[in-house]
Amino acid sequence: MELGTTRTTRTATASPGKKIAEKGLSLFGKLILLGYAVGTLYPLYWLFISAFKTNEDFFNNPYALPKEWKIDNIFRAWDLGDMGRGMLNSTFVTLTSVILTLVLGLLAGYVLSRFQFRFKKIVVSLFLAGLMIPIHSTLVPLFLMMKEVGLLDTYGALILPYTAFELPIAIFLSMGYMASIPKEIEEAAMIDGNGWWGIFGRIIFPLCTPIIATITILAFLRFWNDFSFALVFINTQALKTLPLSLALFSDGFGTDYALTMGAMAIAVIPTIVVYLILQDQIMKGMVAGSIKG
């Protein structure tokens, strides 16, 4: 399914009926919508104001602005939760998995969109089935398999399954996109003496920038926020990703609410900043991915 994204012309040439419908969004309607939006954002606002309070302040006035803005929680959370380590681990695991997903996914997508070969149908339906598989039903067997080969509790225990589970979406998104690239471009490149690898590396890959952006966004959010795989496959403190260091706060510092809020603020800021900068692409990308999924 294609997303209608460049339909701005429509609103410009709105029909009379359309105008009535738009006037229908009265001040009252707008107020309700505004209330809904504020309600949606309120938990985040609460998180941020609480992160700058002392525990005493938090208990006495949980919903007021801080009496005194204190940054201690942020620093304490950073140290106690070893969040610098968590952030490094998350960054490394996410980056490596995203790159692997892109390279393997686009290569496979290119082969499946351009070449005919004997087992093609089986390969495509295998990947298609991958879109339907509930991820948690593989936790137990993956745990056992990786235990057997000593992969458990390594970066590979996250990078390899992350990539494997993201491949179907990457492959189908890139197949769909590559179908729109005219074959003549490749024929011309072939005449110029390029092999398939050269064509893929020099021509197809650069032409795929928009779909690469979509795949990257989807993969980044999925890997960066993943909790279940990290929970089951990682045990060593030094390898814990950000969501795991956060979960630790709910158990270990259960009653130090301001501290936990500080930890959450640290974890949430990078994603929110990325979201504010790239929100249109993120919305489009996540929707494209979920529809394909």
Partner 1 sequence: MPTAVRSKGFIALALLPALILFVVFVIVPIIWSAYYGFFEWKGIGATKFIGLDNYREILQDHIFWRALKNNMILIVSAIVGQVPIALILAIVLLKNSFFSRFVRSAVFMPMVLSTVVVGLIWGYIYNPQFGLVNTILEAVGLESWSRAWLSDVKVNMFAITIPINWSNIGPYMIIFIAALQNISPEIDDAANIDGAQKGKKLFYVTLPMIWSTVVVTLVLCISGSLKAFDHVMVMTHGGPAQSTELLATYMYNNTFRVYRYGYGSAVSTIIMIISALLIGINYILTRKKAD
Q: Which stretch binds partner 1 (CB under 8 A): 76-84, 140-148, 181-189, 207-215?
A: 140-148
DSSP secondary structure, 217-262, as one string: HHHHHHHHH--HHHHHH---GGG--HHHHHHHHHHHTTT-HHHHHH
Q: How many residues bind partner 1 (CB under 8 A)?
A: 108
d(CA 142, CA 161): 9
User: CA 45 to CA 52: how far, in whole Å?
Assistant: 12
When asked if residue 286 is in the footprint of partner 1 (CB under 8 A), the reply is yes
Judged by CB under 8 A, the residue of 27, 68, 137, 238 near partner 1 is 137
Tokens of residue 132, six digits? 């339907």
Which of 51, 152, 160, 215 forms a contact with partner 1 (CB under 8 A)?
A: 160
* Closest C-alpha to 165, from 87, 97, 240: 97
Answer for which of 64, 65, 272, 277 binds partner 1 (CB under 8 A) is 272
Under the criterion CB under 8 A, does residue 138 sit at the interface with partner 1?
yes
Instruction: Select from 77-85, 158-166, 181-189, 208-216 the region that touches partner 1 (CB under 8 A).
Output: 158-166
**Stretch 165-194 residues interacting with partner 1 (CB under 8 A):** 165, 167-168, 171
Angle between helix axes 83-114 and 156-178 (nearest 10 degrees) is 40
Single out the residue of 181, 231, 253, 281 in contact with partner 1 (rule: CB under 8 A). 231
Residue 163: is it exposed, middle or buried by C-beta count within 10 angstroms (0-12/13-18/19+)?
buried
Query: Distances in Å between the alpha carbon of 73 and those of 49, 122, 266, 271, 276?
Result: 11, 54, 10, 20, 25
Residue among 143, 155, 205, 253 that touches partner 1 (CB under 8 A): 143
Q: How far is the CB of 55 from partner 1 (least distance, A)?
A: 11
Nearer to partner 1, 127 or 177 (CB): 127
Asked if 213 and 219 touch (Cβ cutoff 8 Å), the reply is no
Quick check: 78 binds partner 1 (CB under 8 A)? no
> 31, 69, 136, 192: which one contacts partner 1 (CB under 8 A)?
136
134 binds partner 1 (CB under 8 A): yes
Token match 């006035």: residue? Answer: 61
- DSSP letter assigned to residue 67: S
- State which of residues 51, 83, 102, 112 lies at the interface with partner 1 (CB under 8 A): 112
User: What span, in angstroms and rounded, lies between the C-alpha atoms of 271 and 282?
Assistant: 11
Gap between the Cα atoms of 134 and 144, Å rounded: 18
150 touching partner 1, by CB under 8 A? no
Q: Which of residues 21-60 bind partner 1 (CB under 8 A)?
A: 21-22, 24-25, 29-30, 33-34, 36-38, 40-44, 46-47, 58-59
